[in-house]
A and B are shown apart, each in its own frame.
Chain A
Amino acid sequence: MLNTLNHAAEPLVSLESVGVHRNGRWLVRGVDFTVRRGEIVTLIGPNGSGKSTSAKAAIGVLKPDEGRVSRIPDLKVGYVPQKLAIDWTLPLTVRRLMTLTGPLAQRDVDAALAAVGMSALAGAEVQHLSGGEFQRALLARAIARKPDLLVLDEPVQGVDFSGELALYDLIKQIRNATGCGILLISHDLHVVMAETDTVICLNGHVCCRGTPQAVSQSPEYMRLFGARAAQTIALYSHHHDHTHLPDGRVQHADGSITDHCHAEDGHHDHRHGVLHGVGEERPHVHGPDCGHLHQQERGHGHGHGLPVAEETTGLPNLKGGEDRA
């Protein structure tokens, strides 16, 4: 967190009671927040609550109709937009995508691709990528620029659940390694929370703000998302007592190894609180591809799905000296 301490005082961008008026209605009004260097700020809110609009106002893509946006001079932004459709007729490889908005050193391109685990697909055409691969390529493109401010508009869309966790983990690692500020937009509340310094809950205006814990307990948040969502967050910090081995078997806290980590095997009380809390998951036998939340307990040290953590060696100090717990 070295960078965080060094630059804690420097706000990269500040919004003061910003409003954006389009087609006869206010998309957002009275929005104020600040993103500082080394800080992760997350905008959450229902669809149409003005998350993207606020972010676009922050980086100057949308001109606010009221209020003020101030940015540090020559603020270098890395942007991952919410929707990006590239016409099939445009021949664009992942490598060429990297230098879309400006020239980059080969070294930085390679490091960024390695950091998101896309090195092997550098020569692939972007239209042939899966949703998750494409998102990772876009993220690599944004970080290869070494931006002061990284703006990620729903960066995990089209990514499966384990990939989602890995991606959020990667975003935090990027912050820790580069000390950039991150403005993150999300509607999946359950995962994003833990990695965030400040949560701003939007619904046309700022409903509530604060640390993830404070927001998830606030009455405004519960009114907006329902008590169920808050419960989800509460269940979020559960404990693991087993580790998935590379061959798919499971090592338990007492050292025994079984084929499954199923509750019926009597070894442990394993609650996938988040998933059960929102009713997305059916009981099943865990395997190496079950995509469960084993990574969210930080410092837990195991993960299946995307090998992101293992492939971050491209950015030398990405993992070093980082406070993971």
Chain B
Amino acid sequence: MLDDFFVRALVAGVGLALTTGPLGCFIIWRRMAYFGDTMAHSALLGVALSLLFDLNLMLAVFVVAAGVSLLLLVLQRRQALSADALLGILSHATLAIGLVMVAFMTWVRIDLVAFLFGDILAVTRSDIDLIWGGGILVLFAIVYLWRPLLASTVNPELAEAEGLQPERARLFFMLLMAVVIAIAMKIVGIMLITSLLIIPAATARRFSSTPEMMAVFASLIGALAVVGGLFGSLHYDTPSGPSIVVAALVLFLLSLLPVRRRQAEAQAKAEGIRR
């Protein structure tokens, strides 16, 4: 069954979406969308380094993404520049350095578009093993770290005061992000990874009453977007990575209309009671 490239793409995409769901929730709860984007952009530097030193591609991307996130942690602590400005600098610097390095390496010919926008249809069986193996690892880690991560999302000092270790949880979270970026790059590409993290989570918010529910829904909505996007790309002969993001966006827009009205009513009611 996995011999067919389309089935392989589906299995790989769904595996990735299940992983990005809970991580994406934390990204939007902690307002780290730009942070995720920066880590993703740094992946191109990882690609260039892996070509230059003949390293495993995923490993190189993971190391660079993790390195950039740690660098950000250190720089933020020095408080010389705002986090926003630091992210902007690192995000585009790593992307540009990666592009320049690739251009210098005239002896390698790479399909830059595949790295930037993904090439899910070229996924191999060993890629699938990595995606599912890595994905399950990430999900287990998220479950294990759930309480300290959630508590420190609400307030790190509160978590620390009551015996959790927010700094450690945050560090692990960065590493998990790096893992997911390394495995996601091949599927949706560097430019679109953040959207697969954020859009399903934002869609799930409308239907969720607890954080746990939102994480599960984000995974399912992401998987639905992958399936929808891949079938759409097959049908309309569109590029697969962007098609998945468009499918996710369609789901988001669909979720917006009815729920929003209900929420507005509930809010009006609550305010009515208070007045």
Contact = CB atoms under 8 A, between A and B. Distances in A.
Interface residues of B, number: 31
B162 A145 contact: yes
A293 B40 CA distance: 58
Q: How would you classify the secondary structure of chain B's contact residues: helix, strand, loop or mixed?
A: helix
B133 interface: no
Interface in A67-108: 76-79, 81, 84, 86-87, 89-93, 96-97, 100-102
A93 B208 CA distance: 11
Contact of A130 (B154, B155, B163, B274): B274
B170 interface: no
A97 B153 CA distance: 12
A163 to B, nearest CB: 14
A84 B161 contact: no
A92 B211 contact: yes
B238 interface: no
Contacts of B211: 90-92, 96
B162 A56 contact: no
A307 interface: no
Nearest to A127: B267
Nearest to B267: A128
Interface in B192-226: 201-202, 205, 208-211, 213-214
Contact of A93 (B161, B163, B210, B214): B210
Given A89-B28, A90-B153, A96 B158 contact: no
Interface centre among A61, A77, A101, A128 (most CB of B within 10 A): A101
Interface in A129-150: 130, 145
A79 B158 contact: yes
A91 B267 contact: no
Given A89-B202, A90-B153, A128-B267, A101 B158 contact: yes
A79 B166 CA distance: 15
Given A79-B157, A90-B29, A130-B274, A101 B209 contact: no
A31 interface: no
Contacts of A30: none
B150 A100 contact: yes
A31 B270 CA distance: 45
B214 A86 contact: no
Interface in B58-78: none
B125 interface: no
A96 B213 CA distance: 12
B158 A84 contact: yes
Interface in B8-57: 28-31
B95 interface: no
B161 A79 contact: yes
B129 interface: no
B208 to A, nearest CB: 5
Interface string B131-155: 0000000000000000100110111
B147 A102 contact: yes
Contact of B157 (A61, A97, A128): A61
A152 B103 CA distance: 58
7 contacts: A56-B157, A56-B161, A84-B158, A91-B208, A91-B210, A101-B162, A128-B267
Interface of B: 28-31, 79, 147, 150-151, 153-155, 157-164, 201-202, 205, 208-211, 213-214, 267, 270, 274
Given A79-B162, A81-B158, A86-B154, 15 more contacts: A60-B160, A79-B157, A79-B161, A84-B155, A87-B153, A89-B29, A89-B202, A90-B153, A92-B210, A96-B211, A100-B154, A101-B159, A101-B162, A102-B147, A130-B274
